[in-house]
Amino acid sequence: MDAQRGLIQGVPTYWAAAPGPLVGGLMFRVGFIDENLFQRGLSHLLEHLALAELDVDFAYNGQTELGVTSFFAKGTEPEVIGFLEHVAGALANIPWQRLEAEASVLNAEAAQRGSSLLGAAAWATYGPAHAGLLDSMELAHDRLDKAEIERWSHTYFNRDNCVLWFHGPKPAQVNLGALPSGQRMVSPEPERIIPARRYFRHQNLQSPGAFTKADRSWELGVGLTLLGRRINDRLRNDLGAAYGAHCESVNFSADSRFVLLSTQASADDASMVYEECAYEINKLAYDGCTDEELSWFYQQFVRATQDPASGAAAASGDATNELYGAQVYSDQETADRLKSLDKTAIGHAIAEMAESLFWLMPGEYDSGDRRLEYPPVIDYPSVQGQTFQLAKDSRVEGQKPHGLVVAADGFSFFNDCTDSDTAVFTMPGTDMVGGFRTRDNSYIFWSSQAKTFHIDPADWDNPEQVRTGLEALLPAELWVTEREFKAKERSRFNYAEAAA
């Protein structure tokens, strides 16, 4: 089902006609890929603040994803329009009285989340940036800097960085006048900050998976669906070795997507599952797909377009593509493109993607690179705060100054109070497995205990002495620096040889 494009107060709007009730959404081109480590959670916080004072009976929600933050509701036309106008108003005039309460709610929400395959793979590839922040703590909720929150809102939650979509009866005008003007924000591309690798072993992983960044070509999109179908048929139906297997494609810009291959199998069968996945990838890459597979894919597309419920997905999908700056295709244009696809070209697209696949395997941590032995969890000690500003701001009468001791064998941060126990956080040099120099000239260290410590020398009276000590803590090969490594061109990878 095609969605019609129009403008409401200059905002691109996609509408798919259907009987009531009305479903409507307001989407902004911002997500956690736009945040840095210490901004993590700003978009999510603003999503919650925009909805904090709603007291309605109809269905609504908000969500923050890789590169899009969205708000949507289902109800009568006045209810949905009123909801969207409320969101616009709350983003422009933030309800500060709800700030601490919503931050507390978000921390409770974060406590329920676990790690993910995508999060582990992206962290291992990009470090604490872009999609690597997926499973990170939302550190912005600890600082609650109103000026920074307001700047973030004006930069990203503006009238020129959003799109509307509707499914149902054609809606009347929506007043988004409360939103400030601004500009469309282009999605950032991730920077690899570790050496290009083929494997990464993780003791918490039960079954093999793979990850990479790839282009958004038609050939690869179809090929990934067919690859997932082949692997699932082989592992589940033929061998009974897995509950299932999936090939997911997650778009995050006009030209790029993340590819995630996941399997659900026993760790005892990991080697066999990997070999079967590698075989199916290699076969599709070299032989291309079949006419029957292309016909099956096309029929799936036709069936989806004929589903009356597909209008909401069509409208929201078109809106997302517009936000990313990608071309929006009608159903007929999509059908024509699918009919013109070449089977060999699909194989070539899979082969190109496969050359950069980063495999995650169950087992002991990989000892090939100490920085990856213990993927760091951003878990601050009790004496926390961005760059330990607490060390300067929280002194009370009768309390001795906070201190930082950096020695050749590690460092300690302590808070020696006259009326309480001494709070000490120590990271021995022998426990350190990685260090990262941030863009603001501060430092992040992580240890074999998956603890992370952040230090800014500027917080101390002797910054150069602190910096000299920190620089001497790790050998050169344990420092992870931005753009230190680039993905390199590689010849086609021989999976059969690797498996052997």
Pick the closest to residue 194 from 126, 116, 117 (CA basis).
126
**For the stretch 240-267, what's the b/e string if a residue is b when 16 or more beta carbons lie within 10 angstroms of its beta carbon?**
ebbeebebeeebbbeebbbbbbbbbbee
**Average pLDDT per consecutive 10 residues, the chain (500 residues; last block may be shorter):** 91 93 97 88 96 94 96 96 97 96 91 80 79 85 88 96 95 92 94 61 77 94 97 95 93 95 90 90 92 96 89 93 95 95 94 86 53 35 34 40 65 51 60 74 70 72 83 80 36 39
* pLDDT given at position 301: 94
* pLDDT given at position 173: 86
* pLDDT given at position 205: 75
Would 4-117+129-168 and 375-480 be classified into the same CATH topology? no
DSSP codes, 194-217? S---SEEEETT--S-EEEEEEE--
Any idea where the domains of the chain sit in the sequence? 4-117+129-168, 199-366, 375-480
**For the stretch 306-342, what's the b/e string if a residue is b when 16 or more beta carbons lie within 10 angstroms of its beta carbon?**
eeeebbbebbbbbbbbbbbeeebeebeeeeeebeebe
Indicate the residue type of 61: N
* pLDDT given at position 336: 96
* pLDDT given at position 475: 80
199-366 has CATH 3.30.830.10 classification: yes
* pLDDT given at position 61: 96
CATH topology of domain 4-117+129-168: Cytochrome Bc1 Complex; Chain A, domain 1 (3.30.830)
CATH of domain 375-480: 2.30.29
* pLDDT given at position 264: 93
Sheet holding 69-75, edge to edge: 4-8, 11-17, 162-168, 22-28, 69-75, 59-64
* pLDDT given at position 447: 66
* pLDDT given at position 233: 96
Report the C-alpha gap between 236 and 258 in whole angstroms. Answer: 25
* pLDDT given at position 406: 73
- Structure tokens of 389? 């500003």
Report the C-alpha gap between 500 and 492 in whole angstroms. Answer: 16
